[in-house]
Structure 1
Amino acid sequence: MSLSPSRYAPLMLTTVLLVWYAILWLISLTGWRAARRRYSSRPRSPLSSSAADSVPGVSILRPLKGLDPNLYENLECTFTQEYPKYEIIMSVADAHDQALRVANDLIAKYPHVSARVNIGEEVVGVNPKINNLMPAYNQAAYDILWVLDSNVTVASGTLGRAVDALQGAGADAGKKRISLVHHVPFATAAGSELGARLEEAFINTNHARMYIALNTLAIDSCVMGKSNIYRRSDLEQVVGGLKIPAAPGDPSPRGLRAFGKYLAEDNMIAGALWHELDTRHDLSCDVAYNAIGNMDLAAYCWRRIRWIRVRKQMVMAATLLEPMTESAVVGSLVALALYSVFSVPLWLFFPLHMLAWLIVDLDVYNSLAGHPVPEGQRFRFVVAWLLREFLALPIWAYAVFGSQVTWRGRQYEVLKNGEVRLADAHSGGISSWFKGRRGYQHLNTDG
C-alpha cells in the first residue's frame, strides 16, 4: 500500500530524526563507557620513583593574572608533583599583579623545587595569554612543556602519568606518535551563585561526556587547554596552518608565537600538532579540577556566547549542528515526530528521554569525581542541570548572530578560522547594542 504525500513526508522526517537520535545516543554512551573505564583507576607512574637522570625533564608553565579562586592551592599542586625532574615558571605581565605575592610565598615554602616568576610579556599577537607565556616558553629548560591554567589544580601523580602517556607507554604498535596529552576539566563551584552551579553542572556532565566521547573516537583533534602537555620541539615545527605541514623556507612564525592571533589558542595548538605533524593526542586518566569563582547567571550566559562565537569561525558546520546534540532540543523534536506519526504521548516520551539523559550524565560525574553528587547537593545539581539543558538553545541562537566577544576586559572581533582582532568601538551589528551594557562585561569571567 503506497503512502500519500501528506503521510510520506512526516514518516521520512521521523525516520531521519530517529536515526540521528540513535547516533547521538551511541556517541553519548561511548563517552559514558569511556569515562567509566578511563577514570576507574589512576595507577602510580613508575617514573615517580625513578632517578632524576633517567626521566625526561618537564617545564611547567603557569600564566597568572590576578587572584583566581583558590589560587594558592592551584599553584601549590605543581610544587608537590611526584616526579623527580621538573621546573616551574610562573608568569605575570605586570609587576603589580596580585598573583605575584602568592607565587613568591610558594617559592619560599618549597625551596627544594626549581621555581621562579617571570615578570613582563612579549607581545606577539592579540592573545594576552600567549604574550604572557612567551618569555617562559623561550626560557624553559626542558623540551616537554606542561601549560596549566592558574584556576586549575591536579593530583600529585598527574605529571608522571601524563609523561607516560606522552611517551606512548602501553600504546599499540603502528599507532601514530602522541604529540599532546590533555586532561578533562572538572568544575568545582565554591560559591552558591546560579551561574557557577550551571557551569559546574555543564562541565561535569554534558561537556565531559561529549569531550571524552570525541577523544575516544579520535576522528579529529578536540582539546580544551586547561591542562596540556606537549613538546616544544614539536610546536616549533608548526605554523598554525592546521591542515598541511609548513613548507621548507616558509617565513610564517613558528612555535608558540604563531598562535598569538587566536583567542582559542589551546584548540588551535592541538589542531596544528594533529594535522601538520600527522600525530595524535591522548586523554590522560587524571582530571583538571577547575575552580569556579563568583559567576552569576549573566556571566554564565556570556561565557557560553563567547565560545560559541569563537567555535563558529573555527568549525562552522559543527557549530550550526550543535543544537541537535542538546537533550532538550533533540528530545522535543523526536517526541513531536513520534506523536505526529505514531501517536506516542508527549508526556510519556519526553520525560523518559530527559530522565535517561540525566542518569547517564550523573554517572559520568560519578566516574570523574570518584563519587556520586553529594546527597545534600543532589537536588540543586539536578535543577541546575535541567536549567542548563533548556537554556542551551536560546544562548546558541543569540550567539550565532554576532562576532564580538569580551575577554579579560578587552573586546575582540572573531574572524575567519578563529583569529581575532581588537574590536572597533564603533562597529555595528546586533551585538554592538549590548557592548556598553553591564552584562556584556561578564564575558571576562574565568578566561
Structure 2
Amino acid sequence: MMDAGDLDRDFLLFTLAIVGLLWYTILWGIGLLGCMTARKRYRLRPRSPSANAPRETTPGVSILRPLKGLDTNLYENLESTFTQEYPNFEILLSVADEEDQALPVVRELIAKYPNVDAKVIVGEEVVGVNPKVNNLVKSYRMAANDILWVLDSNITADPGTLARSVDALLRPTPTSGDKRIALVHHVPLAFVNEHKLGSRIEEAFLNTNHAKMYIAINTVAIDSCVVGKSNMYRRSDIEHVNGTLRPVTSKMHGVVPCGLPAFGRFLAEDNMIAGALWHELDLRHDLSCDVARNAVGNMSVGDYITRRVRWIRVRKHMVLAATLLEPFTESIILSLIAASSSKYLFGVPMLLFFPLHFAAWLSVDLDVYASLAGFPLPSDRTWGFLIAWGAREILALPIWVIAMFGSRVEWRGKQYQVLRNGEVEQAGSMNWFDRLRSSRRQGDYERIDLET
C-alpha cells in the first residue's frame, strides 16, 4: 500500500512531467513558426513597383548613418545606401568630430556617386549617455524628409531594401480596426571574414536561434521586439513619444520632452523607440522581406561573452520575467526537461532522446539560415559552423548566470550602471579585469543594439 506521501510525490512528478512536455511543445511551436515564416517571407523578395516610379510620386526618405571609426566592411556597407533602387532619398552621414577615420571613406563615396544627394554632418549634440543618439540628433533635425531610415555602420543593404521597406511602412491596413504601421525593421543576417571563434559564434547565434525567435515573436506580435540595426520610421511619430511607455495624453505635451533626444538616456535606444511607438501611440511594427546584412568584426570569445552579458543585464531591467525564463528556452536545458519528462511518462531512454532532439533542433536552425541567406550553409564551412553553433549553445547558460548577478556593464572603456527601466548612468572606475579588456579593444566601435 502506498501512503499519502508517496501519492503526493507521484502526483507532483507526474504534474511536472506534463508541464515539462507542454513547455517543450510550446517552444518547438515557436521555433517552427519562426522557421516557416522565414521560408515564406525571405525566400522570395519581389521587386517593388516604386523602384522605377517617377520621383514626384514617391515619398522622400532620409537615410541616417551614424559613424565612428573604420568599422568592418565600412566602404561596402556605406556604398549599399548609395546604390538603393529608389528615386527619392537623401543620405546623411554623421560623425562626432572632424578627425574621425570614417570621413575619408565617406568623401570617396560622395565623389564616386555625384548624383546621389549625400551630406556629411560633423559634430554631436550631447543629450544623454548614448553616443549613437548624440551622434544622430543633428542629422535627425536636418533631415529633409519625414520618413527616416536609420542604419548602423556595420550594415549592408540589398539595393531593393529601401523601396520594399517604404512599401511595408505605407501598406494600408486591411480593416479600419487594424493599427497603422509605424516602424519597419529588418532581421540581422551576420557574415564574417574573420577566423576568430568569437566572430563565428556571433554569426551562428544571429543567423539561427536569434533569427528564429526574433521572427516568431514578431509574427505573433504580442508586444514590441525590435533590434536597431536597420529601422525605418516617421519623424512625426517620434516627436510624440518619450520612452515612458505610457499612452500619450494631451497633458503631457510640453511637459515631458519628446523626440529622439528623449532616448539619449537609454543604452538600448532602438528597443525603447520601438516600444514607445507601440505603447505610447498604440501603433505597430512590420518586418520587411529584406535582411540587414551585419558585418561581424574581429571578436574573441571573451568579446562575445561580454557583449551578451551586457545586453542580458539591460534586458533584465526592462523585461525581468522574460529574462528569467530565458534559460528554459535554450536547447540544452530544454532537452534535459523534455528528456526527463519523456522518461518518466513513457520510458524513453534519455540517451536516445538527446541525439534526436539536437539533430531536429539543428535542422530547424540550418533551415532558418538558408531562408535568410538565400542558400544553404556551404559545405566547406559546415564543421566550423557546427563548432560555433555548439559553443553558442554551451555558453548560453553560463553567460546568463554571469549576467544575472550584476547591473554594471562595460561599454567602450566606460562603466555604466543599468537602472530599473533600462536607463543608464555612468558608474565609477573599472576593476582591473574590465580595464584590461578595455585596453585590448581600444579604438573599436561597439554599436548599440539589443538582441531578442
TM-score by length of 2: 0.94
Q: Which runs of 5+ in 2 are unaligned?
A: 448-452
Structure 1 position 312 matched with structure 2 position 316: yes
- Which residue among 399, 402, 406 is the counterpart of 1:398? 402
Amino acid of the structure 2 residue aligned with 1:63:
P
Aligned partners of 2:339, 2:439: CA distance in 1, in Å? 36
Q: For 2:417, which of 396, 413, 417 is the aligned residue? A: 413
* Pair 1:218-2:221 in alignment: yes
2:95 pairs with 1:96:
no
* Distance (Å, rounded) in 2 between the aligned partners of 1:179 and 1:85: 20
Q: Distance in 1 between matches of 2:41 and 2:311?
A: 27
Query: Are residue 108 (structure 1) and residue 107 (structure 2) matched?
Result: no
The aligned counterpart of 1:346 is 350
C-alpha distance 79-171 of structure 1, shift in aligned 2 (>3 A): farther
- Residue 332 (structure 1) shift: 1.4
The aligned residue for residue 334 of structure 2 is: 330
Q: Which amino acid aligns with 2:288?
A: S
Deviation at 1:211, TM superposition (A): 0.3
Greater shift, 54-63 or 170-179, is seen at 170-179
SS in 2 for 1:187: strand
Residue 297 (structure 1) aligned with residue 301 (structure 2): yes
Give 1:341 shift. 4.9
Report what 2:169 is aligned to.
Answer: 166
Whole-angstrom CA distance in 1 between matches of 2:11 and 2:445: 50
**Equivalent pair of 1:82/1:157 in contact (CA under 8 Å):** yes
Structure 2 counterpart of 1:205, one-letter code: T
**Partner deviation per Cα, 1:57-101 (whole Å, 9 max, x = no partner):** 000000000100000000000000000010000000011110011
Is the contact between residue 61 and residue 89 of structure 2 (CA under 8 Å) also seen in structure 1? yes
Q: 1:154 touches 1:289 (CA, 8 Å); kept in 2?
A: yes
Give the conservation status (yes or no) of the 8 Å contact 1:187–1:292. Answer: yes
Cα distance, 1:350–1:445 mapped onto 2, change above 3 Å: farther
Deviation at 1:245, TM superposition (A): 1.4
Given that residues 238 and 246 in structure 1 are in contact (C-alpha distance below 8 angstroms), is that contact kept between their aligned partners in structure 2? no
Structure 2: distance between partners of 1:244 and 1:145: 23
Contact 1:48–1:84 (CA<8 Å) still a contact in 2?
yes
- Structure with the greater relative contact order (CA < 8 A, sep ≥ 6): 1 or 2? 2
The aligned counterpart of 1:429 is none
Q: Structure 2: how far apart are the matches of 1:233 and 1:140? A: 12
- Give the whole-Å Cα distance in 2 for the aligned partners of 1:446 and 1:192: 19
Mapping 1:12-411, distance limit 5 Å: 12-168=15-171, 171=174, 174-248=177-251, 249-411=253-415
Distance in 1 between residues matched to 2:174 and 2:394, nearest whole Å: 41
Assess if the C-alpha contact under 8 Å between 1:59 and 1:86 holds in 2: yes
Name the aligned partner's letter for residue 226 of structure 1. Answer: K
Change (3 A) 1:207 1:172: farther
Aligned residues: 442
Unaligned runs of 5+ in 1: 427-431
Report the CA distance shift for 1:407/1:172 in structure 2 as closer, same or farther (over 3 A): farther
Q: 1:36-60 deviations in whole A, cap 9, x for unaligned?
A: 0001211111111111111100000
Please report how far the alpha carbon of residue 338 of structure 1 lies from its aligned counterpart in structure 2 after TM superposition.
Answer: 2.8
Check whether the contact 2:124–2:135 (CA below 8 A) recurs between aligned residues. yes
Residue 435 of structure 1: aligned partner: 434
Structure 2 residue identity aligned to 1:436: R
| Distance in 2 of aligned mates of 1:33 and 1:83 | 30
| AA partner of residue 404 (structure 2) | V
Q: Deviations over 1:230-266 (max 9, x none)?
A: 0000000111111321443342211101100000000
Q: Kindly provide the CA deviation profile for residues 367-424 of structure 1, in whole angstroms up to 9, marking residues without a partner as x.
A: 0001001010011111211111111000000001111112223221111111011112
Tell me if structure 2 keeps the 8 A contact 1:298–1:439: no
Q: Quick one: distance in 1 between partners of 2:171 and 2:380?
A: 41
Whole-angstrom distance in 2 between the partners of 1:70 and 1:433: 32
Contact persistence 1:404–1:411 (CA under 8 A): yes
Shift of 1:343: 3.3
What is the distance in 2 between the residues matched to 1:332 and 1:441? 38
Q: Distance in 1 between matches of 2:370 and 2:66?
A: 30
C-alpha contact 1:406 1:440 (8 A) present in aligned 2: no
Alpha-carbon distance, 1:342 to partner: 4.0
CA deviation after TM superposition for structure 1 residue 340, in Å: 4.3
1:197-234 deviations in Å (ceiling 9; x for gaps): 00000000000000000000000010000000000000
2-structure distance, mates of 1:270, 1:89: 22
CA distance in 1, matches of 2:48, 2:17: 50
Q: CA deviation at 1:117?
A: 0.7
Q: Tell me which residue corresponds to 2:450.
A: none
The AA in structure 2 aligned to 1:313 is: H
Describe the superposition over 1:175-201 as per-residue Cα deviations: whole angstroms up to 9, x where unpaired.
210000000000001101000000000
Identity among equivalent pairs (%): 60
